Structure 1
Amino acid sequence: MTPAADRPAHWKESTVRWQDLYIAGLGSRFPDRVETAEEAIAAGRYTARDRDTSGFRAVRVADDGEPGPVLAARAGRLALERSGLRGEEISLVLHAYAAHQGRDIWSPASYVEMAVLSSGAPAYEIRQGCNGGLSALELAASHLTARPDARAALITTGDAFHLPYLDRWNTDDQMVYGDAGAALVLSTRPGPLRLLATASVGDSSLEILDRGPGPWTRAPLEGGAPVDLAARKRDYFDAEENEFAFEEVLARLRKGSEQAVGRALADAGTELSAIRWCVHTTFPGPVAQSAVYGPLGFSREATTYDWALEHGQLGAGDQIAGLDHLVRSESPRPGDRVLLYGVGAGHVWTVAVLEFTAEGQTQP
């Protein structure tokens, strides 16, 4: 851990080596409708230059009756079924998301609990952007460890990105957002994937990147235009007083990533060379290669990245949906280890290290 004297006041770390916690079930659900980058280009919503730079090839697009919580509930039911657990054994539901949830001022987490369990388990929202799924995983692990009678927790993610609130092809620089639900069941009962360790690092000095230097608003879509995260970043970096901010921001981003990965590996008692796969937040191609799997030493083939480029950035669900895809397509062996890497607006990094058990032959 970084010496206290070297850490700014807004820099916090949380690391844990977990005992007897397992992912018992995984599930993901995608809408049927596919929109390709070529279709978006033909419609004037995307450019060939952005496609060639970012690498995104297609996304799934939800219908009007498929908001994030509905997709999350579908994935949750699948994860629960695969876990072999009963609904009444779930003592906590955490629902993570980034986009609009189909209604203003309501509880999508409670909807998910009702639709999947209807057992009265407390249900809470996690709003940590692209790191929402992994943030929920760490919180659920804390819940199960702190309560001796708790057996399992359900984590869901669900996002659908629609105009006029968000333009999936243009809201952020070269980022393309796809609709999906994802879920996992974390349990104290031995299962196919053992959770070895998690680590979270926060640097709140970076929250300005997504807030931007502009004035506060009183309500969503107050100006009538879709959210423009790219413009907020440009406004921040273009300000005269932030002349040298870009280099400082890059340094902070590298430091947060290195700290989270290093602590998770240390607490898991493993080296990076012992990790077979990496499942990370889905970024545009240049960012993914230069800031995530490249610096970590993973080949592209050791990630789920090419699969992700066919589905887009899934809001809070990249890692859970990616892990679900990995275990059904890569024939994991007992002892194989996987690193889950997340970073969300704020900024908070969360990294988890997992190991396939002998029960991993019956995939979660």
Structure 2
Amino acid sequence: MPRPPPRLFVEPGLGHALITTADAFLEPGFDRWSGDYGIGYGDGATALVLHHLPGSEGGRPADLILHSVATVAAPRLERMHRGDDPFGPAARSLGPKVDIRRTKKAFLQAEGMEAFTGTSAASLRSAVESCLVGAGLSATGDAPLRYVVAPRLGRKTIDLAYAPVLTKLTGAQLLRPGDDTGHLGAGDAAASLAELRTGRLLGPGEYALVVSAGAGFTWSCLLVSGT
């Protein structure tokens, strides 16, 4: 049975939750086009409403059913966005501009590319498997998934770090959203859910696994189905 988020689950009287995100990647603090490798950053905001299913505390019909959520973190990669810099008291306290290319170069020179690619693949695999198992589905490539939705990152990044793992694990069709938005920061997952809904891509009982990734690093998966 789908599980609502923890607070909705433990407070029956709380029937709905509104989740919002907003990010703007503006000059002079950040160059959205060349501040990172292979990623264009887009300004945007998202909002979604979570609620109980019909029959439980007066829930209304759902556009998508949320079955499981999983997040995996790899703190050893936090230097990818800090490099050799010391910890600072606030954003841009050590310089006028966020330059992720510079910090990634410093990390890769010290740790090597395998430190990133190996940790990234293992963490992504763990997040996918945990999300599927959390919904009672198999994590051996035969889960009944119609789609797996990649994060809103650059095509080269998806081809290198995501497509091989996601295709092997799920066997589902890989969707690559974000050509018209770029990376929306915290809003990637909600924007991808919105596209599944507005495009009516999932029929009743069809599943999609929505993947997102954040600096730090973290990987998150949401398993949803159509109604």
**Superposed pair shares fold, TM > 0.5:** yes
Cα drift, residue 168 of structure 1: 0.5
Q: Equivalent residue for 2:12? A: 148
Shift of 1:229: 1.0
Which deviates the most, 322-331 or 248-257? 322-331
Task: Please say if 1:238 is aligned against 2:126.
Answer: no
- Per the alignment, residue 185 of structure 1 pairs with 49
Tell me the residue number matched to 2:128.
261
**Pairing 1:206–2:70 present:** no
More helix by share: 1
- Name the structure 2 match of 1:270: 137
Is the contact between residue 2 and residue 65 of structure 2 (CA under 8 Å) also seen in structure 1?
no
Equivalent residues of 2:203, 2:226 under 8 A apart: yes
Counterpart of 1:342 in structure 2 is 212
Could you list the structure 1 runs, at least 4 aligned residues long, displaced by more than 6 angstroms after superposition. Answer: 298-301
Paired residue type of 1:201: V
Q: Which position in structure 2 is the counterpart of 1:250?
A: 117
Cα distance in 1 for partners of 2:157, 2:163 equals 9
Q: 2:165 aligns with which of 295, 307, 315?
A: 295
Give unpaired runs (5+ residues) of structure 2. Answer: 55-61
Q: Which amino acid aligns with 1:235?
A: A
Q: Work out the number of aligned pairs and report it.
A: 215
Which digits, 9 at most, give the CA deviation of each residue in 1:124-178, with x for residues without a partner? xxxxxxxxxxxxxxxxx01111222221111111111110111110111121101
Residues 280, 318 of structure 1: 8 Å contact kept: no
Distance 1:347 1:18, change over 3 A: farther
What is aligned with 1:163?
Answer: 27
Q: Which amino acid aligns with 1:144?
A: L
Same amino acid, percent of matched pairs:
30
Matched letter for residue 159 of structure 2: Q
Tell me how far apart the structure 2 counterparts of residues 223 and 214 of structure 1 sit (CA, whole Å).
8
Residues 1:351 and 2:218 aligned together: no
What CA RMSD, in Å, does the superposition of the two structures yield over aligned residues?
Answer: 2.2
Unaligned ranges ≥5, structure 1: 1-16, 22-140, 358-364
Q: Which residue of 1 aligns with 2:96?
A: 225
Matching of residues 1-364 of structure 1 within 5 Å:
18-19=2-3, 21=4, 141-190=5-54, 191-222=62-93, 224-239=95-110, 242=111, 245-271=112-138, 272-273=141-142, 274-297=144-167, 302-303=174-175, 305=176, 307-357=177-227
Q: Which amino acid aligns with 2:47?
A: A
- Structure number with larger C-alpha Rg: 1
* Preserved contact between residue 173 and residue 230 of structure 1 (Cα < 8 Å): yes
Specify the alignment match of 1:46 in structure 2: none
Displacement of 1:299 in angstroms is 8.6
Amino acid at match of 1:206: L
